[in-house]
Amino acid sequence: MDRPRIIIFDTTLRDGEQSPGCSMNVPEKLRLAQQLDRLGVDVIEAGFPIASDGDFEAVKQIANSLRRPVIAGLARACAGDVDRAWEALQGAAHPRIHIFLATSDIHLQYKLRITREECLAQAREAVRHAKTLCQDVEFSPEDATRTDVPFLCQVVEAAIEAGATTVNIPDTVGYSMPEEYGQLIRTLYEKVKGIDKVVVSTHCHNDLGLAVANSLAGVQSGARQIECTINGIGERAGNAAMEEIVMAMRVRPDRYPFETSIASEQLFAASQMLAEITRVPVQPNKAIIGRNAFAHEAGIHQDGVLKNPLTYEIMTPQSVGVPDSRLVLGKHSGRHALALRCEQLGHQFERRELDEVYRRFVILADRIKKVQDSHLLELIQDVSSGMVSNSEVSGHKRIFPPATANLSQPRAASVAAGAGSAETYSANAGPAQVTIPFSDHHTEQEDYLWGV
């Protein structure tokens, strides 16, 4: 049976751009939008056209240049905003107007200073107006998770009656818990007339670190669109991270039997591009695309990964576009990883020789933390000359013949595994050949051992 498809709605260029220090100019937004297109996202929220001329221009240019994805423009629930969004979207092959209006009492009372009745009427009116311009209209009751549930049901029903084709349920302040968020989506399915005719969407913020968990709980309860951002950027603690959502569904289809249109091998490139444009680096331990996501420093881990990547990796680096797995050479590294790196540098050792290289390597690593190729070559040379002079004294002849690592010979690794698709390790897959390439990477990466 076909798995339900989850629509991936990317809001990196709108909600993501609202994170401090992440603003982008028009050419940068266009460049990133092209990468989002390569990535295969279904909907790109390109901006909030009424917010500034720059935002208007970015939405316009993206709408004019990308033909495959839906292009959305955000609008508050008033005619001026909706008209401006529509103006920016004129050139889009697949335009969407996305209207939002807060519905929680705290927002109504302190921010909007309107009653629930006025809120209901405003939502209905704005969606009706948008519908006269554009077939594809999304409605978001802002702060939905802190809204009185019967009132939320009333507003969502009114928006559907007025013509909304997608209803999005934002956890605007990242307050919800996964079970609670899932329950809210189920309640809406039970209580709201017409909800089966529209797409229900999740939009979760990460204030308690639960944005991805909440989004996944939402799709388990019937939501079929997830709003998310690259690297999880967004207001305050950010939005649900696209790379985590997509890979959670890929790696665990037993728990999340859903499809997306995302070309996961483009995730790393998208992440790198965003970090480069915004100059906001990705934290090293960030799941899926962080520098350390596939790095193994501890000797036991390195040994395991070299014998079978499945021991410590649940997806291949290649499946998310990371060129190769990285074994960092540091003080916790083991002999096995060191020997491999030496081999890649053209030096093969016998046991006794390796012992000496390893002994000096540990002393060096203790001092400089990460041992780079240049350090290792120096160390090998030192050890080599020391051993030669010792051996002359002791009468031994052969020490450290400059060996050429047999790199044309792929290293066999049995890649068995989790329950993933072809891009992740497959549980039933037989042994696979994993080639260990020569290091041709740039200096920043030279301190990594490109092992498997």
Which residues lie near Zn ion (CB under 5 A)? 15
Judged by beta carbon distances under 5 to 8 A according to partner kind, the member of ligand KIV, Zn ion, none in contact with residue 343 is: none
Judged by beta carbon distances under 5 to 8 A according to partner kind, the member of Zn ion, ligand KIV, none in contact with residue 278 is: none
Minimum CB separation of residue 267 from ligand KIV in Å reads 22
15: contact with ligand KIV by CB under 6 A = yes
Q: Could you tell me how many residues make up the chain?
A: 452
Minimum CB separation of residue 13 from ligand KIV in Å reads 13
The number of C-alpha atoms within 13 Å of 367 and in the hemisphere containing its C-beta is: 7
- Rounded to 5°, the CA angle 226-193-239 comes to 20
Judged by beta carbon distances under 5 to 8 A according to partner kind, the member of ligand KIV, Zn ion, none in contact with residue 107 is: none
Contact pick of 10, 28, 136, 142 for ligand KIV (by CB under 6 A)? 142
Classify 204 as helix, strand or coil.
strand
Minimum CB separation of residue 311 from Zn ion in Å reads 39
**Rounded CA gap, 258 and 283, in Å?**
28
Minimum CB separation of residue 211 from Zn ion in Å reads 10
Judged by beta carbon distances under 5 to 8 A according to partner kind, the member of Zn ion, ligand KIV, none in contact with residue 142 is: ligand KIV
Q: Which residues pair with 434 in a beta bridge?
A: 411
Q: What single-letter amino acid sits at 192? A: V
Residue 264: which residues within 8 A CB-CB, separation 6 or more? Answer: 246, 247, 250, 319, 320, 321, 423
Nearer to ligand KIV by C-beta: 15 or 243?
15
Judged by beta carbon distances under 5 to 8 A according to partner kind, the member of Zn ion, ligand KIV, none in contact with residue 140 is: ligand KIV
Phi/psi of residue 44, each to 5°?
-110, 115
Minimum CB separation of residue 102 from ligand KIV in Å reads 8
Q: How many chain residues touch ligand KIV (CB under 6 A)?
A: 9
Nearest residue to Zn ion, using CB? 15
Give the x-and-dash track for 182-221 against ligand KIV (CB under 6 A): ---------------------x-x----------------
**Rounded CA gap, 223 and 262, in Å?**
18
Helix 267-278 × helix 26-39 angle, to 10°: 170
Nearer to ligand KIV by C-beta: 146 or 296?
146
Minimum CB separation of residue 205 from Zn ion in Å reads 6
Minimum CB separation of residue 22 from ligand KIV in Å reads 14
326: contact with ligand KIV by CB under 6 A = no
Helix runs in 50-99, H state only: 53-65, 79-88
140: contact with ligand KIV by CB under 6 A = yes
- Going by C-alpha positions, the residue among 305, 249, 256, 259 that lies closest to residue 417 is 305
Minimum CB separation of residue 173 from ligand KIV in Å reads 8
**Rounded CA gap, 149 and 201, in Å?**
17
Minimum CB separation of residue 170 from ligand KIV in Å reads 3
**Rounded CA gap, 443 and 147, in Å?**
52
Lookup result for tokens 């939502």: 123
Give the x-and-dash track for 145-184 against ligand KIV (CB under 6 A): -----------------------x-x-x------------
**Rounded CA gap, 247 and 201, in Å?**
19
Contact pick of 56, 86, 100, 448 for ligand KIV (by CB under 6 A)? 100
Q: Are 153 and 116 in contact (CB under 8 A)?
A: no
Q: Binding to ligand KIV (CB under 6 A): which residues in 381-420?
A: none
Residue 121: which residues within 8 A CB-CB, separation 6 or more? Answer: none
Q: Are 158 and 192 in contact (CB under 8 A)?
A: no
Binding site for ligand KIV (CB under 6 A): 15, 100, 140, 142, 168, 170, 172, 203, 205
